DNA sequence: CGTGAAATATGTATCGT
DNA sequence: ACGATACATATTTCACG
């Protein structure tokens, strides 16, 4: 499926995709066309989702990260699917995890200040009829944010 | 500081940085050299951290996301700094938020299975003398993962 | 900021292993 | 099937107005 060179390519690209294909080819020891063919194949076969620029939040004014644990009234799938959709459409919500146990959803919400967070709670959380309760953990500091995954395991 | 075109550039690049400079220039209505100069300036001035390829986790075998709430014994800063450093050096930990309240840290940990998670707990959490207790929320489904930030606010 | 030209990179075709 | 070389096309990047 994926050989050592493919993994090396993916590892490098998820560290830094501003590498030119020539540089990438050099790093993995292939000719540029051979390297390009692999990258194209990895993209076509759905290993690479997309390439994005990661910005530095601090440069855009103060911001808060909220970790929000949401408990729903019922675990009915279609009802919670509706909530998941609202959350996906909500710009403040950067991540949403569906978890098992008492809590049903964990959200990572990014806002510029408390009033923006209150507005979000009104618009998304309190507006959801199936929402039972939620707990907010306030973070003023993101210590680590790494988008790379372990590519040496499949 | 940042004008409308800068914000437009940043907005586009954090959606998709595989755009060529020619395409980007076209979208924002500038000549390629003018656009390139802005991108370089935005990078040099620290608005852009890096460009990365986001991979599709499902293509690399099963994986679990753990939301881990960690409570420390003492809030002594230098002690918790040591823990933050361990966490930063730990490959399984993709994100770490320092939060206020009972809980001190929230980690997003990505592992292939439960035994990998147990190994992580032993190596990082139980090994930390200042760790009082932690709670794990297990997620088998990441509903949303958006690395883009709101660029229209500073 | 735009134009045009030079330097690089990307992408294609073909051949060889 | 996969990679290398050579060549054509496109992009990046610099100098100048």
Per-residue pLDDT tens over the stretch A39-73: 999 999 999 999 999 999 999 999 999 999 999 99
- Tell the residue number behind the tokens 């919400």, with chain if given: A109
Question: pTM for the complete prediction?
Answer: 0.96
Cα angle at B56 between A42 and A19, to 5 degrees? 55
Segment 46-75 of chain B within 8 Å of chain A by CB:
46-57, 59-61, 63, 65, 67, 69
Q: What's the CA B62/C1' C12 distance, rounded, in angstroms? A: 38
Read off the tokens for A23.
Answer: 């540089």
Does the distance separating the beta carbons of A50 and B16 come in below 8 Å? Answer: yes
For residue A32, give the nucleotide whose C1' atom is nearest its CA: C10
Q: Which chain A residues are Cβ-neighbours of B47 within 8 angstroms?
A: 55-56, 59-60
Q: If pLDDT is split at 50, 70 and 90, which confidence band does B19 have?
A: very high
Q: What pLDDT, on a 0 to 100 scale, did the predictor assign at position A57?
A: 97
* A44 near B CB under 8 A: no
Residue B119, CA distances (Å) to A56, B33, B34, B127, B137 in order:
32, 51, 51, 11, 17
Q: What is the pLDDT of residues B107-151, one digit of tens each?
A: 999 999 999 999 999 999 999 999 999 999 999 999 999 999 999
- Report the gap between the CA of B56 and the closest CA in chain A (Å): 5
Q: What is the pLDDT of residues B27-69, one digit of tens each?
A: 999 999 999 999 999 999 999 999 999 999 999 999 999 999 9
| Residue B110 bridge partners (DSSP) | B65
* A15 near B CB under 8 A: yes
Cα angle at B19 between B18 and B25, to 5 degrees? 155
Are A68 and A135 contacting, i.e. CB atoms less than 8 angstroms apart?
yes
The domains found in chain B, sorted by start residue, are: 4-44 (1.10.10.10), 58-138 (3.30.70.920)
Q: Give the largest Cα separation in chain B, rounded.
A: 58
Q: A71, exposed or middle or buried, with CB in 10 Å at 0-12, 13-18, 19+? A: middle
* B144 near A CB under 8 A: yes
């Amino acid at each position: 499926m994926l050989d050592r060179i493919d993994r090396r390519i993916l590892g490098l690209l998820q560290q830094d995709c501003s590498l030119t294909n020539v540089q990438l080819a050099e790093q993995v020891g292939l000719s540029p066309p051979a390297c390009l063919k692999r990258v194209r194949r990895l993209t076509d076969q759905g290993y690479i989702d997309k390439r994005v620029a990661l910005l530095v939040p601090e440069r855009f004014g103060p911001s808060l990260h909220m970790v929000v644990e949401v408990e729903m009234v019922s675990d009915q799938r279609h009802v919670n699917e509706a909530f998941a959709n609202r959350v996906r459409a909500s710009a403040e919500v950067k991540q949403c995890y569906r978890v098992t146990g008492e809590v049903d959803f964990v959200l990572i919400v990014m806002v510029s200040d408390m009033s923006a967070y209150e507005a979000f709670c009104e618009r998304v959380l309190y507006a959801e009829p199936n929402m039972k309760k939620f707990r907010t953990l306030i973070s003023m500091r993101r210590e680590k944010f790494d988008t790379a995954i372990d590519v040496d395991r499949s």
